[in-house]
Structure 1
Amino acid sequence: MRSPNTQTVAYLSKAHPKFDASNPSQIDYSSYMKSLQLCIETKAKKQGHLIHNQILTNGLASNLHLSTKLIIFYSKLGDTVGARKVFQRMPERTVVSWTAQISGYTKNGCYQDALLVFLDMLRAGFKANQFTYGSVLRACTGLRCLQRGMQIQGCIEKSRFASNLIVQSALLDLHSKCGKMEEVCYLFGMMEERDVVSWNAIIGGYAAQGFSGDSFRMFRSMMQEGMSPDLFTFGSVLKASGMASDVIRVFQIHQLIIQLGYGSHISLSGSLIDAYAKCESLASAHCLYKSMPIKDVISCTALMTGYARSSNYSSKALDLFKEIQQMHMKIDDVILCSMFNICANISSLSVGRQVHALALKCKPTYDVALGNALIDMYAKSGEIRDANRSFNEMEEKNVISWTSLITGYGNHGHGHEAIALFKKMENEGLKPNEITFLSLLFACSHCGLTGEGWECFNNMMNKYSILPRAEHFSCMVDLFARRGLLEEAYNLIYKMNIKPNASLWGAILGACNIYGNMPLAEEAAIQLFKMDPENSSHYVVLADIYAAAGSWDNAWKVRKLMEERNLKKAPGYSFIPCTKNIARPQPS
C-alpha cells in the first residue's frame, strides 16, 4: 500500500486522531470516510482531490460507501461532472448512492439531469426513500414541472412515505411554487405533523402568488401553534407586507425580528429595506440601511429600487450610487436599471451617459431589461437617436423594447416613425400589448394622423382582441378633437363601453377652446365640474372660451364660481438641473 502524501496525512490525522502515518497499512475506509466528511464540511477542494487520488491508489475505488461519499463531496463543490464520473464507475449501487447523485444534481440546479437519474434508478429496480422523493420533487419544483411532480406524487401515495414530513413539505413547495394553492391547502390540512419548513411552504406560497392576507393569516396560525419563525418565514411575510403596502405590519414584523434575535441577519435587513421601500416609507428604509454595519448588494439594490420608484429621492439615489462605487461593490443589473430610470425621471442626460459608460465597462453585453431601461432613459432625455442606437444594439428584444422606442418616437412628434416601427414589430412576429397600442395612439394623436390612429384602434380590437381602456378612448377622443372633429369625438364617448373619465372630457374641453365650440364646451365643463371640482384649470378654460366668444357675463360667472370655491390657477414652474441638486425657481 502506497503511503499518503503530507497534505493527505494532515487531513487524515485531523479527522482520525489515532491515525499513525508511520504505519499506512492500518488505513481503512473509515479513516477516508471521516476525512472526506471533513472536506465536505469545509469545502476543502484540494485536500478532497488528494484523498480521492489516495483512495484510487490504495485500491478502494470500488468501496460502496467511499464512492457515495465522493459523490456528495463533488456535488457540494458544484462539480456535477466529477460526481457523475464517480457514480458511473461504481460496480454496485444502493438507494443511498442513487439519492446522492439525484440530490447533487438538484442542489446544483441540474433539474432535468436529476429527473433522468431518478428514471434510471426506477428502471434498475430500486425503490426510492423519503430523501429520494424529497430531492426529485425539488427538481420538479425547479423546473415548475407540475405534471411530472404529480406523477411522482402518485408513486408516493402508493408508498410508505406518504405521511413523511420531508416528502410532504416538498410536495407543499412544489404545488405552491406552481401556483396551485388549493392543493397546498388540502395537503397542509391533511398533515398530522408540521415543522417550520411546512409552514414556510404555505406562507411563502401565498406571498409568491400575491395573496398577502392569506400569507399573514397562516403566519398568525403558525405563531399561535407555538412554532417559531425562521429567516425564510420572515422573508415571506415581509414580501407579503411590501406587496400590500402595509407599513404598520412591516414595523410590527421588524419589532418581532429584533425580539427573536434575528435583527443582525444581513439577509433580513435587505428584506426589511425592500418592504419599507415598497410601502413608500423610504425614510425608514434609509435609516435601516445606514444602521447596517456591513452593507451588501441586496440591501443596496432594495434601497436603490425604492428611490427609483419615487421622484422625490433622486439626489439620495445618486449619493447611494456614489457610495456603492466607493465601497467597490459589484454593481448588478437591477442597480443599473434603477439608475437609468432615475436619470430618465429627472431628465439628467449627463449622469445617464456616465452610468451607460460604467455599464459598458462592467457588462459589455447587457440583458433585455437593462437595454429597455437604456432606451427609456435616452428617449425621455430627448436623445431619440441614442435611444434608437441602443435598440439596434440589443441582441434580444421583447415587446417592452419595441414599445419603449415607439413611445419615444411618439413623445417627440415622430408619428410616422412610430407607425413604421410598429409594422416592423409585427413582421418580426411579436404580439403587441395594450401599452403598445396606447403609445401608438398617443403618437397618432400628437401628430394629427387621424386615419392611421383609427386603423390602429380597430386593429387593436379586431385583430388582437384587446379591449380598449379609458386611456385608449382618451387618445382617440384627443385625436378627433385635435383635428376639429368634435362631434365624432363626442359620439365616441357615448359609444364607449366604459364610463368616461375626466381625461376624456378634458380633451373635449381643450379642443372646444381651440375651435370655439361653446355648446359642447359647456357640456364637457359640467361633467368635469362633477368629476374633478377642485381642478382650477377646467374653470379657466371655460372662462377663456366664453371670453373669446364675447360672452363676458358667463366668463365673469365662472371666475366668480372659482372665487366661491376658493380655487386658484396653479402657477407654472421649470426644473433646472444644477451642479449639486435640482433647483425649482418659484414664480414671481
Structure 2
Amino acid sequence: MACNSYINGSQRLSNLMSPLTGPRTPVMASISKICLYKPFSLSFAGSVKDQTLLQRCNFPATCILREQVPLKNECRVFARMPERTGTGVSTYLRETGTGENGDYARNDLDISHLISVLKFCGGEGCLEFGRTYHGLIAKTGLDGDEFVNTSLIDYLRETGTGENGDYARNDLDISHLISVLKFCGGEGCLEFGRTYHGLIAKTGLDGDEFVNTSLIDMYAKCGDIDSAVMVFNQMPRLDVASCNCLISGYANCGLFEEAFRVFMNYESWGNRPISYTYSSMLAICGILSAIEEGKQLHAQVVKMQYLSETAVSNALLTMYCKCEAMADAESLFERLPQRNIVSWTAIINGLYQHEGFEKAMRLFCLMRESGIEPNDYTFTIALASCGNMKNIDNCRLLHGLVIKKGMALGEFVGTALIDMYSELRETDDAEKQFKEMGNLTSKVSRNALIKGLVQNEKANEALDAFSELVRKDAACDEFTFSPILRACASLPSFMSCQQIHAQVVKANFDKNTHVGSSLIEAYTRCGSVEDAEKVFSRISAPDVVSWNSVIKAYSQNGNPRRAISLFRRMIMKGFRPTGSTFLAVLSACSHSGKTQDGLEIFQSMINEFGVSPEEAHYSCMVDLLGRSGQIEKALDFINNTPIKPTASIWRPLLAACRCHNNLRIAEFAAKHILAIDPNDATVTTGKRRKPERADETEGDYKRTRMQLDRSEQQDTQILFA
C-alpha cells in the first residue's frame, strides 16, 4: 500500500522503476494510469507491458493508448489478458477516451484512432478486440461515418467474420447490419455485400423484413438486379418498402417495363402506393417521355391526395417538363399549394431546356420577389438563360447578384459564369472570371474556358490555356481533349495535334471513343489520313461517330475507294449508318466515279435504313450524276425531289453543265439559282472561270459565257420587275 501510495502521490518516472521488484496487480493498475499522461515516455510504457504479471492485470491497456506505445502492442496486451473482466475493459475504454458506456460523446472520439485499431485487428486476426471496437462504433453512432464503415468492412473481411459466421445471432445488431448494407450499396461493394448476405442467412436473420429490404436495396444499387429479385421473391410478405426498393432498382438499371409491372401488382400484394412510390414512377415517366402514363399517375395522385406533398408535386412538374408538355407544367405550377426552391428550379429549368429564356428569367425574378432565394443550381440555370438572351447588361446585373450572394467563385456558378460570357462572345470576361476563381478552379471550369475559346474561334488562346494546364499537371478528361483537338483542326496545326495526341496517350484516353473521334477529325483536317486510321484502330469500342470520322477522312483526302470499303465494313459489323455516314460515302462515290454504287447506297439509305435525305444528300446526288455526265438525269432527279430545290441543289447541276458544255440546262439552272439568290457567286463570278475541259477552246468558252451572261441579265430584269 505504501508503494502504491508513493507511486500515486509522486507519479514521477524516475521513482517508478524500484517499486517494480515485486509487482502486484494494484500496482500495475496505478502504473497504467500514470502512463495515460503524455509527458511519460514510450520506454517506460514498454517496460510495463513486458512484465509477466501484466497478463493478470485488469487494466493492462490503459497505459498504451493515446499514442504512448505502438498500436500493435496495445492489441497484443489486450489479447494476452486471461481474464478480461468488465471492469478492466470498461476502465480501458473509458480512460482512453473511447468510452463504451457513454461517458464520452461522439465528438470526443478519435476517428483516425478507431480506423487504425480496426486496420490492425483485421491484419492480426484480433477478433475479440475488434468486436469490442465494433460494439463501441455501433453504440456511439459512428457506423454512419464513411471512413469508419470502410475500415469496419475491411476488418470483417480480413478476420473472416462474415464468411465463417463467428457471430452468433444474438451478437448481431440488425440496425448495424442495415447500416453496413446501406454503405455497401452506396459504395458499390457488391462482393462484401454478398458476404454479409451469407452471414445473414446463416444466422437466420433473412426472415426480417427490414434486413431483406436493405438487401434488395443493396443489390439494386450495385447493379445486381437478379439477386435483388431473388431476395424479393423469397420474402414471405411483400411490403411497400421492398416494392419501392425494387422499383428504384429496376429504374436504375434501365428496366422501366419491369418497374411498371411491380407498380401494377401493388394492390394484388396487399399494398397501397405511398408518395415515394408515385415520385419514383413519375421520374420513370419523365425518362421515357411517357406523357399518357404520367397523366394517369397525376390523376391517381390527386385521388390519393398526395399533390400537397412537395416531393410528389415536384416530381409531377419535372415529368411534364421532360415530356415537353410545358403548358401542363406551367398550369400545374400555378396551382401548386406550396412551392419550394425545388419547384421553382424545376419550372425554370424546364423553360430553359425548351428555349423559353425570357419566361425563365421572369420566373427567376418572381421567385426572388416571393421570398425564395436561389441556390447554386438555380443560379446556374438563370445564368445560362441570360447568356442565351444575348443581353450583356442583364448578364452583368445577374453577375453582380451572384457576387453579392458570395457564390461567384463556386465550382458550378463560377463555371456557369464562364459559359455565359463565352456565349456572349466576351472571352476576356470569361478568362477574367476563370482567373478570379484561382485555386477554386476545377476540371469542369477549365474545360468550360477551353470550350468557350474554341467556340469563339480563338484556337491559339485555347491552345495557350491548355498548355498552362499541362504545365500545372492538371487533370484532363475527354471534355478537355475533344474541344482542344477541334482547335487543332480549325488551324490546322499538325504539330499541335501530335503534341496533344501524346497527352491523350499519357492520360490513357487514346482508346476513348469521343477523344478518338476528335483525333481522327483533327488529323483529317491536317491531311494525315494514315494517322487518322491508326487512331481509329486503337479505339476500344468505336461507335457510329468514330466510323463516320474515318470514312469522312478518306472521302475528303483523295481515297474515296477506301471510304466506300470502310462503309461496307461498318455495315457488316452491325452498325446503323446515320445521315452523316451516307453524306460522306455518297461524296466518296461521286469523287471516285462510282455512280451506280452511289445510286444503290442512296436507295438503301431510304428503304433499308429509314434515313430521310436532307438538302445536302440531294445536292450530293446531283453532283454524283452531273460528274458522270448524266445531266438530264440530274435535272430529273431535282424535279422529283420531295423538297423544294434550294440553291445548293441547283449549284452542282450548273457546275456539271459548265464542265460538259450543256448550255440549255445551264441557263435553266442559273435562272433558278438567281431566283433564289440574285447575288449568288456561282453565277455572277462564272464569267471569270477558265475552260474546264481539255477539248473546250477559248472561243467555245466565250460563247458559253456570253449566253449565260445574257440569261443572267434577262432573269435579273424579270426578278426586279
Identify the TM-score tier after normalising by the shorter chain: 0.7 to 0.9
Alignment of 1:333-352 (within 5 A): 333-352=478-497
Residues 1:276 and 1:5: Cα distance change in structure 2 (over 3 Å): farther
Residues 1:557 and 1:434: Cα distance change in structure 2 (over 3 Å): closer
For residues 275 and 15 of structure 1, what CA distance do their matches in structure 2 show?
57
Counterpart for residue 277 of structure 2: 167
Counterpart for residue 124 of structure 1: 235
Alignment of 1:424-443 (within 5 A): 424-443=569-588
- The CA deviation at 1:442 is 0.8
Match of 2:189 among 79, 83, 92: 79
- The CA deviation at 1:502 is 1.0
Counterpart for residue 193 of structure 1: 308
Counterpart for residue 472 of structure 1: 617
Tell me, yes or no, if structure 1 residue 379 matches structure 2 residue 493: no
- The CA deviation at 1:332 is 0.9
For residues 243 and 259 of structure 2, what CA distance do their matches in structure 1 show?
10
Tell me, yes or no, if structure 1 residue 265 matches structure 2 residue 413: no
Uncovered stretches (5+) of structure 2, i.e. residues with no partner: 1-83, 110-128, 327-349, 691-699
Calculate the TM-score normalised by the size of structure 2. Answer: 0.65
- The CA deviation at 1:549 is 0.9
Residues 1:285 and 1:128: Cα distance change in structure 2 (over 3 Å): farther
Counterpart for residue 223 of structure 2: 111
Residues 87-143 of structure 1, C-alpha deviations (whole Å, 9 max, x = no match): 43133253332333333445xx42334x6335524532244345x455433322222
Alignment of 1:305-384 (within 5 A): 305-310=451-456, 312-363=457-508, 366-384=511-529
Residues 1:297 and 1:61: Cα distance change in structure 2 (over 3 Å): farther
Alignment of 1:184-263 (within 5 A): 184=294, 187=297, 190=302, 191-195=306-310, 199=314, 202-203=317-318, 206=321, 212-213=350-351, 220=363, 223=367, 230-231=375-376, 241=385, 245-247=388-390, 251=395, 262-263=407-408
For residues 11 and 94 of structure 1, what CA distance do their matches in structure 2 show?
35
Secondary structure of 2:476 counterpart? coil
For residues 46 and 430 of structure 1, what CA distance do their matches in structure 2 show?
43
Contact 2:619 2:652 in 1 (8 A): yes
- The CA deviation at 1:313 is 2.0
Contact 1:407 1:439 in 2 (8 A): yes
Alignment of 1:11-22 (within 5 A): 12-13=98-99, 16-18=102-104
Look up the equivalent residue of 2:524 and give its one-letter code: A
Match of 1:549 among 690, 693, 703: 703
For residues 51 and 6 of structure 1, what CA distance do their matches in structure 2 show?
21
- The CA deviation at 1:46 is 6.3
Secondary structure of 2:171 counterpart? coil
Residues 1:479 and 1:71: Cα distance change in structure 2 (over 3 Å): closer
Secondary structure of 2:637 counterpart? helix
- The CA deviation at 1:66 is 3.2
Alignment of 1:371-520 (within 5 A): 371-520=516-665
- The CA deviation at 1:548 is 1.7
Contact 1:172 1:198 in 2 (8 A): no
For residues 432 and 446 of structure 2, what CA distance do their matches in structure 1 show?
13
Look up the equivalent residue of 2:469 and give its one-letter code: I
Uncovered stretches (5+) of structure 1, i.e. residues with no partner: 566-588
Look up the equivalent residue of 1:361 and give its one-letter code: K
Contact 1:74 1:83 in 2 (8 A): yes
Tell me, yes or no, if structure 1 residue 301 matches structure 2 residue 447: yes
Look up the equivalent residue of 1:68 and give its one-letter code: I
For residues 233 and 122 of structure 1, what CA distance do their matches in structure 2 show?
42
Of structures 1 and 2, the larger Rg is shown by 2
Contact 1:368 1:396 in 2 (8 A): yes
Larger deviation, residues 347-356 vs 484-493: 484-493
Contact 2:485 2:500 in 1 (8 A): yes
- The CA deviation at 1:375 is 1.9
Secondary structure of 1:89 counterpart? helix
Contact 2:494 2:526 in 1 (8 A): yes
Q: How many residues align?
A: 551
Look up the equivalent residue of 1:17 and give its one-letter code: D
Residues 505-544 of structure 1, C-alpha deviations (whole Å, 9 max, x = no match): 1112222333333332222222222222343442121576
Larger deviation, residues 199-208 vs 185-194: 199-208
For residues 67 and 509 of structure 1, what CA distance do their matches in structure 2 show?
78
For residues 707 and 564 of structure 2, what CA distance do their matches in structure 1 show?
46
Match of 1:33 among 138, 142, 161: 138
Look up the equivalent residue of 1:455 and give its one-letter code: E
Contact 1:177 1:205 in 2 (8 A): no
Using the aligned pairs only, state the percent identity. Answer: 22
